[in-house]
Each structure stands twice: as C-alpha cells, then as structure tokens.
Structure 1
C-alpha cells in the first residue's frame, strides 16, 4: 500500500494550516497528474475497473453546486468579540462536476494513498455511489479539511469508510472551517471522529451558532474548549435546537447555571424534560421545596444530576426504612455529603447502617453520627475502614459498642497511617491504651488530629507551660486548639496574672470577645484607670 504523502496527494496532505488564512489558500487546486500508467503508483486491477464503471453507469449525471463561502471569526481570539475587527475565512467547497469523468487510475490511486484497499474502495462506492462523479480536487480538499482538524491516518480511513457522505455533503465544509478557524482546531480529534461517524450531516448546520450561544449565556471564553471537549457533541449541541439549549441554561440558572455547566459539561447532554427537570425536582422535593437548598447540593456536586430519579429515590427509601430517618434528615445528610447518592446501597449503605445499629445507635444517633462523619458511608471498607476497625479493637475498644462507633466516625477524617502515629505518640508520652480510650470518649477528635501538630502542642504543654501530660486526661480538647493563635497567645498574656497553675479549660474555652474584655479589665486595674 502506498503511504500517505506520496503520489497524487504529494506534500499537500501534510500541509501546515495557518490559523488566520483563508481555506482556499490552504487547499490550492492542483492540476491532476498525467493519467498514463506511469503516473499511477500501482496497477489497477480488472476488478477495480469493474467497481468503478459499475457505479458510474448506474448513476445519472450529478451536478454539485459549490456551497457559499463562509465568513467565520475565531472564537478564541480576543478580536472575535469586536465587531470592527473581523476575520474572514473562505471555506473550500465541493466544486462543480467537470464535464469529463474522473480518471480511473487517479481515483483508485488517490484512495490508496488515503489508506483504503480495493475492498474498502468498493464499500465506499456502494455506500456513496456519487463519489465516482465528483471532482477529485473537491474530494482532496475535503480530506485535507478533515486532516486540518486532527483526523488523519487510520482514523481518517475508518471515518470515510463508515460515513462516505462526509466526502460529498455540502454541510461538512462550514462545520470543519468553524472548528479549525473559529475554535482554533482545539476540539479533540476523538470527539470529532465520534460525531462525524454517527451524525447525519444536516445536524452539523448551526453548530457555530450554538457555540456562540454558550458564550453569550456566560461560559467564559477560556472555558469553551473545556466544555466542548467534555460533552457528547451530538447530544449536547447538534441534536438539540438552539431554543432548547437556551431554555436549558435558563432553567439551570436557578440552581447554579453556567458554573454547573463549566464544572460538569456533560449536563448539556441531558434532556431537559425527561432528565434535568425530574432530577432537580426530586432534590427540591426532598428539601421541602427549598430551591436554594437544592441549588447548594448541585453546586457542591454537579455530578449528582447524572443519577436517575429512580436511583436517588432508592437511596432515600433505604435511609427512611432501614435507618429510620425523615426526609428532612436525609436531605441534611445529602447537603453535607452529596456523594451519599453515589454510594452503593448493597455494598456500603446497608451494611454500614447495620453496623451502627449493632453498636446500639438509634435513629436519632445514626443521624447525628452521619452528619458528623458522612465519609463513613463513602470510604472503601477493604482499603480503609477495615484497617481502622481492627486497630481500634486491638487497642481496647469493645466491638459493637457506641464508643467504637464514635471512634470509627472520628477516624474517617484521617488516614490509617496518621491514626497509628497519633496512638503511637500518646503511648510514647506514657499514656496507656485505656487513657487514650478515656480521652477519646471526652473528645473523639483526638484520633483524627495531625500527629506532628499534636506533638508540638504536647511539647509546649510540658516544656514551656510546665504541666503534666496527664492533665490531658481531664481536658483532651486542649489538643484541638491552635498552638500559636490560641494556646501560646493566651498563656503568655495570662501567665503574669493567673500564675503557672491556671486552668487549661478556663484559659482556652472562653470566647474571644469575653477574653478580650477580661484582658482590658485587668489592664485597667493594673494602670488604675
């Protein structure tokens, strides 16, 4: 097989495409080479001759009128938004059929260089017999246009074999020109291949108008390529009329609008009436009709719109019937952890709620647990929770107890490695496993704090404040305050007036306003004001 870039196509198939040149200048009409046998790169078989003549004889003479030259402005250049500076791009079109038919050797040589074998050429003509009557120059220009947007090699061969009308349909050139020049050729070739292999050419009409609508409705210019490369172009744009796209954006504007689309472009793929409205409606109903609250969920997790109403209702029903939660409680959980909707009911929700019930938690306690530790429903059991559960039981937590459940809730916010280092740190300072469990009952968060931060606070408590490590047994919340902004700052201010033995609890738990007032009062007493 003759490689691309040889023979008839020559260097034109690898011709560079300047971003601001006219299409006609990019695809110069080259005179066909001599039709003698020496100009062909291979011998045309008798079967090839039969295929070609069979299609020429069975088709009446067709005349292809050139499509009008289109003027496009690059969307991605700043000038495109200034009416006074327009970039005129002339798109090459399918030229009129010449009086003489295409030379047989030229026709087959051309498609050999594109990458088709004799069998594929036969399929090509069977699917689109009019190819045998079209100007070879117009076919060459169309292939060059496809290559200019990144479709070449095997992808090009596959595409024109699957959809031969791409080589003759007049709707193709304006679309390719807009993609190449208006969008600077930044649409992924795989997206274009998927679109062109399945969409009828008529659905490509108005593509540029729909892209401009997205920009007009607020999608940032620098994000438009991101959006287009993350949607199904056929579903999101080509198949939908402009009016439907506009109405969809208007509907979403009540819940996050353009921000939702930019963060989750695939939302544009969904049907407004059968998908978006029912799914948003379910969340709004769960929120007791509060659209603002439903919008908060959507802004936290736009991907929640990918789940059907049946899927979301199944999750809500499990939380109602098995966990005993009300719709109000369910929505509050969804609000703090929207990914609860994506968690498997069979592998995660049911067994973990069952665990909490076995630990003695009632419906109200389960709700409070899930509000504080919603990740418990989403983390992997095998790679995360199982290790933590075993470790907690090893240090003395009793299985199927509320203490164990609360400890599990706390450690969902930390890694297995950090949790082990925290417990190791406590043990290194002379605390026992029983002491650790006792502290965690009073302040469960101690198991999730960063071990390096804890070590600095414990060092300051012992070395700078001169206190005993066992004072943490009475007030483990000490480890939750910021070292510099709270502990050091207040201790240095109060040390002179309250002395070294001041209560850690009183020192740190007083609100900032009350602490400031007391500080001013003490200063007034000292100065005699």
Structure 2
C-alpha cells in the first residue's frame, strides 16, 4: 500500500499534465473526487484525524453530483506518480513516447476513459481540438520569440514589432514548422523548441532584412506581404531589390514594384530579367526610362519572352516605329503589359469603326496610349451615345478622337455632362453645343470650376458682354474658354479701353467678333496704327468692323489699301477686306467706272457754265443742230469750223 505522502506528491504534479488537455465538467468533478478520496489530511473514520481549514483560493463550489473513481483508475494515478524520469514537456506539447522514460506507457495520457468521452479501444481517434489548441499555443510561443528578436536584435519599438508580427502570420508558421522539423535531426533532438525557433530566425536573417526594407521607406504591411511571398527564400528579396535599383527603380517604389509584379517574381532569375530589359531597349525604350516603366507596370517582369515579343509585335504591325513605340511605353507602360492580347485587339477594332485605318490607329496610340487603358463598355460606348444625342456625327467624333483623344478617357457623368449642362443653362442649343465640341474638342478637357465658369463671368462682368449675347459669344468662339484671364483676356481688354473704346462698345465688338480678345497685342497694335495714321480712318470704323484686326496687315490690308489709293476710290472696311481677291478686283473696276462717269458729268457741267459766262450770250435755238449739244466739239459737230474748247481725251 502506498503512503499518503507519495500519493500527495503524485497528485501535486498531475495538474501540470492536465493543463493542456481538454477537460469536461464531469472529468473535472471526477478529478476533484479522486483528490478528496486520497487526501491524507481527511478525517479518520474514528473522527480523531486533523481537520484542516477548507481551501478557499480559486475554489469553485459545485452542486453537481461527483462521480467517484474506479479502483483501476486510482491504481493508474498512483503508478503515474511513481515515474522517476519523464520526457520534458512544455506549454502546448503533446505527449510523445520516449525511450528514456522508465515506463514507455507512462508517457501516454492516462485515464482515457476519465477525460475523454469515447469508448474503450478508441485510442486511434485523434482529438482535433486538442491538436489545434496545441498548435495555437506553439504559434503564440513562436510569435513571442520573434517579437523578442525584433526588439533586441532589430532595435525596433514595442508597437512597431507588434504591428509587424501581426502581418507576418505566414512567416510565423514557417518558423514554427521549421523548428519542429529540426527535432528529427540528431544534433537538435535535445534542444528545446524555443532554442530551435531562435536558431531558425537567426539563420533566415529576417531581422536585418526587415531593417533594410524599413530603411527603404517600406511600411510594415508591405514588409509582411513581401516576406510571405518569398515562401522562406528571404534572400531573393534583397537580390531583386538590388537588381531593381540597378535599372533605375527608386527606393520608395521597390516594395510596390515587388508586390505588384506577381507571385512568381521571386522565382525568376536575374538573367531572365536582364533579357527582358535588353529586348525593350532594342525596341526603342531608353535605358534611363526603364526604371520609370517598371515602376508603372511591374507586370512586364513576369512576362515570358514569347509573350513579350507578341505584345511588341501587336504595336509594330500598326506601322509604329521604334521611336513611337519607345515613347508610347514611356507615356503609358500599362498599354504594353497590363492588358491581355484579346482586350488589346478589341479596343483597336473599336477605334477602327470611326473610319481610321491601321496606320492612323498606330499614330493615335503613339500619341495617346492611355486609350488602351479605357474600357469599351464603361467608357467609350456611353460617350458615343451621348455625343449622338448632341447631334455629333461619326465624322465629328472622329475629329474629336484625332484632335483630342483625351476626351475618350475622361469620365462622362462627372465631367462631360456637367459642362454640357452649364452651356445649356447659358442658352446654347444642343446642336450648337455639338458644333462647339467638334470645332474645339479640348473644351471638354477644361475644368468647369477653374477654367470655363471664370471666363464666362469675366466676359459678362468686365468685358461688357450682355447676358443676351453671352450664348452667341461662347457658341461662335469656344476657344475663348481656353484663354488665360490674367495673361490674355484682361490684357486685351485694357488695350482696347486705352484706345478710347467704352466697355459697352467693347462688349458689342466682342459679340460681333468674339475672337477679338484672343489676338496678341503685338499683332493688334500695328494694325491699329496703320488704320489711324496711314489710312486716316476714324476709330468708329474699327468699332463698326472689329473683324479688321483679324486680317493680315502685310498680306491683305496694305495691298488693298494701296489699290484703293491708286484708283482714287474709297471703300468701307467691310467691303475692302471681307472678300476674295477676285471679288475685290471686280469691286475696284466697278468703282473706278462709277468714278469716271461721275467726274465726266461734273466736268461737263463745269465747262457748260464757263462757256455761257465767257460768251455772255445765249445761243438761239434754231441755230442749234439737232445732232449737237450745247458744248460743240469737232468730233461731235461735223461741219463747224471752230471749236470753243478742246475736251480732254478721256472724255
């Protein structure tokens, strides 16, 4: 029979084993019952034993009935307490048979029928809850070891180390599995799990790598994702980062490039990456552009050479030379490596529906490669329907696409529709808005609040344009909305006011010729000086015909003015300039003919009056020949001997 001291010592060590076993309430009650049954300080049957005070600390009374232990279970507990040497255990461990035990069976969890609700002879069934709990405990131990390594060796703060560890769950599992696998090796079989986990962390050199990534402006979230992507091959991060630096990728973009490149980027060799860079350089992408291109489209690094050649040939087949291809890749690297070949083909075919051939599409994409990044269903088709609503034909859309392809890249609802509604509020009709957009496609790319609206307010408040004329001004000259108020419109306004033109007259001039405010002062000043000094015309002529400032001084104004002077005729500015050369010549001939007839009639009257004064008498009526006029000439009155006055030859 065992002594009471032996039983007490065995029971004192028994809860250490039970800490990591799933206990049910019934099992706990059984255990308490077993302890009470074998308590050496319990009262003797005779009532003479010691009566200790009842235990109060951590005591949880229960009213449930307690199941007593069977004699076999009691014997098993006593045999377990007699084991002199057992396999060392740690939190979260599972009992493993060890040849060093005094009794191999003693390493097994005792009392299967006591602590598990399963029938006898069911030892082959694995308790998944117990295993998962053990794994969680070991994972927590590994997390604490890794956090301690970050703070001691990496000199990281407590908060940063905790945040970093929370984003490295995959790496924690990797360390835990590697440390557990080290126990199978003879040289590590006697090491504790903590020591093996520290060894794995130290050999992986993860702490210096994290310090280096943090030095390159990488957040702990990116660091965690990068380490998880390597699948344990941490050296590949530094090798790839050094290669990216060699091709021109800046330090703050290293993490972003490696994350967006793809999962297999760390499995690619540096020779494959060099081959991709050399091929792009041979197709027109400059070496100094390579870092920028890779930063914008890291997916190029994951393309195979066959796929990359196919993508390049897609653009080269549209008569795109190396220079255009290189600039296209630099402007929009996603046009080469972001889309699939099927999507690229669909977008090119859709652009050809506007009447563009293969070469024109190539030039368009070289000029604005961002078109390849726009969705057909979400961006282009709604825009085409809306332009049709404004009365723009397919040829008008083609002009918009060729002149300002950015229109097909901006959002319809938040950008284009808002501007069209603003023009409608000004009183411009839909068909006139469509003509405006075709005439000046960049209008849709201007900001409504920062560009278009301020210009309209300036024209109405400072340039003298009335509310009834503002719609006409904008419809006839939408280019005004693209002019700078401070550098163009206000400067021209002040110049015209300095000439003596009132604000009301300036507003009428702008309503008659809205493009008046777009000309440079250096162009306006010589024309005005020629009008006033050489042509000797009043300022009112310029006010009545403001389009005068739109004609070329050397090409039209001066030659036509000289022609009028030589022919001794005079035209208004409108008749002088607003006609073609042939029409102007016909006008000049007709005006000269009228001048000659007028001068002839005036001189005839003058000569007739002179003759009457000199003769001092009136010629009798019967002496007049019916074929001769009062003024007789040799040619007009045959038979007369004398002629009073010789008429000029041109009469």
- Please, what TM-score do these two structures have when normalized by structure 2? 0.51
Task: Identify the residue that residue 493 of structure 2 maps to in structure 1.
Answer: 423
- 1:476-491 to 2 correspondence within 5 Å? 476-480=546-550
Query: Is residue 489–residue 518 contact of structure 2 (8 Å, CA) maintained in 1?
Result: yes
Among 529, 532, 538, the residue aligned to 1:468: 538
Task: Identify the residue that residue 281 of structure 2 maps to in structure 1.
Answer: 215
Distance in 2 between residues matched to 1:387 and 1:475, nearest whole Å: 28
Task: Identify the residue that residue 126 of structure 1 maps to in structure 2.
Answer: 173
CA change 1:360–1:219 in 2 (3 A) is closer
Task: Identify the residue that residue 225 of structure 2 maps to in structure 1.
Answer: 162
CA change 1:289–1:454 in 2 (3 A) is closer
**1:466 to partner: Cα distance:** 4.9
Distance in 1 between residues matched to 2:292 and 2:578, nearest whole Å: 49
Query: Is residue 248–residue 290 contact of structure 2 (8 Å, CA) maintained in 1?
Result: no
Among 292, 296, 300, the residue aligned to 1:236: 300
Among 460, 474, 483, the residue aligned to 1:405: 474
CA change 1:128–1:257 in 2 (3 A) is farther
Among 334, 353, 376, the residue aligned to 1:309: 376
Task: Identify the residue that residue 68 of structure 1 maps to in structure 2.
Answer: none
Task: Identify the residue that residue 519 of structure 1 maps to in structure 2.
Answer: none
Moved more, 161-170 or 306-315: 161-170
Count of aligned pairs: 405
Distance in 2 between residues matched to 1:182 and 1:384, nearest whole Å: 41
Q: Identify the structure with bigger relative contact order (alpha carbons < 8 Å, sequence gap 6+).
A: 1
- 1:441-460 to 2 correspondence within 5 Å? 443-451=513-521, 453-455=523-525, 457-459=527-529
Q: Deviations over 1:179-207 (max 9, x none)?
A: 53585263123432124446435555133
Greater gyration radius: 2
Q: Deviations over 1:299-342 (max 9, x none)?
A: 3322222210011111011111x212222221112222222224
**1:261 to partner: Cα distance:** 1.0
**1:249 is aligned to 2:315:** no
**1:378 is aligned to 2:445:** yes
**1:135 to partner: Cα distance:** 7.7
Query: Is residue 236–residue 269 contact of structure 1 (8 Å, CA) maintained in 2?
Result: yes
Distance in 2 between residues matched to 1:492 and 1:415, nearest whole Å: 34
Q: Deviations over 1:192-245 (max 9, x none)?
A: 2124446435555133332222122221223222212222x1x3332x322222
**1:299 is aligned to 2:366:** yes
CA change 1:145–1:473 in 2 (3 A) is same
Query: Is residue 351–residue 361 contact of structure 2 (8 Å, CA) maintained in 1?
Result: yes
Query: Is residue 487–residue 508 contact of structure 1 (8 Å, CA) maintained in 2?
Result: no
Distance in 2 between residues matched to 1:156 and 1:389, nearest whole Å: 47
Query: Is residue 131–residue 168 contact of structure 1 (8 Å, CA) maintained in 2?
Result: no
Task: Identify the residue that residue 44 of structure 2 maps to in structure 1.
Answer: none
**1:328 is aligned to 2:395:** yes
The secondary structure found in structure 2 opposite 1:318 is helix
**1:388 is aligned to 2:433:** no
Distance in 2 between residues matched to 1:138 and 1:398, nearest whole Å: 79
**1:278 is aligned to 2:356:** no
**Unaligned stretches of 5+ in structure 1?**
1-49, 58-103, 512-529
Distance in 2 between residues matched to 1:293 and 1:357, nearest whole Å: 37
Q: Deviations over 1:24-62 (max 9, x none)?
A: xxxxxxxxxxxxxxxxxxxxxxxxxx89x99xx9xxxxx
**1:128 to partner: Cα distance:** 4.5
Query: Is residue 509–residue 546 contact of structure 2 (8 Å, CA) maintained in 1?
Result: yes
Query: Is residue 465–residue 508 contact of structure 2 (8 Å, CA) maintained in 1?
Result: no
Task: Identify the residue that residue 192 of structure 1 maps to in structure 2.
Answer: 254
**1:498 to partner: Cα distance:** 8.5
The secondary structure found in structure 1 opposite 2:361 is helix
Q: Deviations over 1:252-272 (max 9, x none)?
A: 221653331122223234223
- Please, what TM-score do these two structures have when normalized by structure 1? 0.61
Task: Identify the residue that residue 113 of structure 1 maps to in structure 2.
Answer: 153
Distance in 2 between residues matched to 1:347 and 1:168, nearest whole Å: 44
- 1:338-377 to 2 correspondence within 5 Å? 338-350=405-417, 352-353=419-420, 355=423, 359=427, 361=429, 363=431, 365-377=432-444
Distance in 2 between residues matched to 1:439 and 1:183, nearest whole Å: 61
**1:414 is aligned to 2:487:** no
Query: Is residue 551–residue 577 contact of structure 2 (8 Å, CA) maintained in 1?
Result: no
Query: Is residue 452–residue 482 contact of structure 2 (8 Å, CA) maintained in 1?
Result: no
**1:267 is aligned to 2:339:** no
CA change 1:277–1:129 in 2 (3 A) is farther
**Unaligned stretches of 5+ in structure 2?**
1-89, 97-143, 183-198, 582-651
CA change 1:472–1:376 in 2 (3 A) is same
Moved more, 304-313 or 461-470: 461-470
Distance in 1 between residues matched to 2:466 and 2:304, nearest whole Å: 62
The secondary structure found in structure 1 opposite 2:468 is coil
Q: Deviations over 1:64-86 (max 9, x none)?
A: xxxxxxxxxxxxxxxxxxxxxxx
**1:358 to partner: Cα distance:** 7.5
Distance in 1 between residues matched to 2:514 and 2:258, nearest whole Å: 58
